[in-house]
Amino acid sequence: MKTMMSRRHFLTVSAAGAGAMLVAPRIAFANVATDRRFVFVIQRGAADGLNIVVPYAEPAYATLRGPLAIDASTALKLDGTFALHPSLAQTARLYEAKQALFVHAVATPYRDRSHFDGQNVLETGGSAPYQTHDGWLNRLVALLPASRAQAIAFAPTVPMALRGKVEVASYAPSALPAAPDDLLLRVGQLYEHDAQLGPLWASAMAARGMAGEAGARQDPASVGKLAAGFLAHDDGPRIAMIETGGWDTHSAQNARLSNQLKALDTMLKALAEGLGPVWDKTTVLVATEFGRTAAANGTGGTDHGTGSVAMLMGGAVAGGRVLGDWPGLRTGDLYDGRDLKPTTSLDAVIAGAAGATFGLDPHRTAAALFAGVAGTKPLDGLVSA
């Protein structure tokens, strides 16, 4: 039996073919007052902070890690204690330019080792899994004037951190072939005077234009370029979230982590280059749900741990520093006798960085983003005024 395709369904399919998959109802590109940008990059899978920002001067590090230990002669020295993984060459250059800083031995309040529960706590800002039903990034948007804030997730669906009362958007490259420009022009003319579908089509085309050539690809450089295409526009979003996965390195960690970090480094380089002068007004936070064990396991990897590292990058960041109260890696220093002990609250890092980025009162920001976590004191001095 033949059926007629509805105008709404045709619009959705055509927009996807044009390289724009708008999972949220629409992207409304309104003018915004703030010229600052904040990007949250989540590392799903528990990234190994000990091999990202390497405590090469810690005597117990090489003993615990064995063949997984990063050779200090190949690592990118930050100071007399810490070095970056050699795959993070661009990030090292940002550090030298004082546009990157690292906070070591950080963790959310979560102390068990389930990815799903840990990611829920990280994204909601609660003190326990599923205690809070919206995300801290959505609550950050709500702190800004309603008509002056936008947020977008570069993911097929809106991640938990961005879910909540404030409407946000998500964008992901389409797997469908690109539609010819002539077809797009004709569809635009068809819906030009339609009160409902006309604005939706216009939003889809605006998103397609911002995505540019990067909109059809998902390699790390294209993802960074895609995000920059949206964020660099005067009428584009000011808050964004990028999802990265594959950080669960139970086996063959050396090769896998090297590839993961190289991809992250490539994406951040493309983001910085794509933003151009806007990079000077940008803060990028990279964080994971928890860290990995201090000692290597028997399969050339590490298991689920606790403390990890948070990274802040951008022209707005007061960088060139490694922060945190280093706990040490001797047996008595480890959390539960196996993990890097967390000494700094990741919530405090988030509240301090996000609040300072937008010129918000830091304590009000902490209270709004992490209301369920008693006594969250924002870490100050992370972002330049």
SS (H, E, C) 123-155: HHCCCCCCCCCCCHHHHHHHHCCHHHCCEEEEC
Residues 288 and 250 in one domain: yes
Residues 222 and 188 in one domain: no
The secondary structure of residue 169, as a DSSP letter, is E
Residues 186 and 304 in one domain: no
- Which spans in the chain are helix H? 7-17, 49-52, 59-65, 89-96, 115-124, 136-143, 181-190, 197-211, 220-231, 253-275, 346-357, 362-369
For residue range 229-284, list pLDDT tens digits in order. 999 988 788 999 999 999 999 999 999 999 999 999 999 999 999 999 999 999 99
In a domain, 92, yes or no: yes
The count of domains in the chain is: 2
The pLDDT value recorded for residue 284 is: 98
Residues 288 and 322 in one domain: yes
Residues 169 and 184 in one domain: no
In a domain, 381, yes or no: no
Residue range(s) defining the domain that contains residue 363: 31-173+217-369
Residues 131 and 201 in one domain: no
The pLDDT value recorded for residue 170 is: 83
Q: What is the mean pLDDT of residues 351-361?
A: 95
Q: How confident is the model at residue 171 (pLDDT cuts 50, 70, 90)?
A: confident
For residue range 99-115, list pLDDT tens digits in order. 999 999 999 999 999 99
Residues 115 and 234 in one domain: yes
Asked whether 226 and 236 are in contact (CB, 8 A), the reply is no
Q: How confident is the model at residue 190 (pLDDT cuts 50, 70, 90)?
A: confident
Residues 5 and 76 in one domain: no
For residue range 67-123, list pLDDT tens digits in order. 999 999 999 999 999 999 999 999 999 999 999 999 999 999 999 999 999 999 999
Shortest CA distance to 226 belongs to which of 235, 216, 234?
Answer: 216
The pLDDT value recorded for residue 372 is: 84
What is the C-alpha separation between 241 and 302, in angstroms, rounded?
A: 27
- β-bridge mates for residue 308, sequence order: 106
Q: What is the mean pLDDT of residues 160-176?
A: 80
Give yes or no for residue 158 having a pLDDT over 70.
Answer: yes
CATH code for the domain of 166: 3.40.720
The secondary structure of residue 276, as a DSSP letter, is G
What is the C-alpha separation between 347 and 353, in angstroms, rounded?
A: 10
Q: What is the mean pLDDT of residues 323-347?
A: 97
Rg (CA), the chain: 22
In a domain, 382, yes or no: no
Residues 133 and 246 in one domain: yes
Asked whether 158 and 170 are in contact (CB, 8 A), the reply is yes
Give yes or no for residue 140 having a pLDDT over 70.
Answer: yes
In a domain, 376, yes or no: no
In a domain, 379, yes or no: no
Residues 161 and 194 in one domain: no
Shortest CA distance to 53 belongs to which of 12, 6, 105?
Answer: 105
CA distances from 357 to 195, 292, 303, 365, 383 (A): 37, 30, 34, 11, 6
- If one counts every other C-beta atom within 10 angstroms of the C-beta of residue 251, the result is 12
For residue range 273-319, list pLDDT tens digits in order. 999 999 999 999 999 999 999 999 999 999 999 999 999 999 999 99
In a domain, 384, yes or no: no
What is the C-alpha separation between 352 and 375, in angstroms, rounded?
A: 14
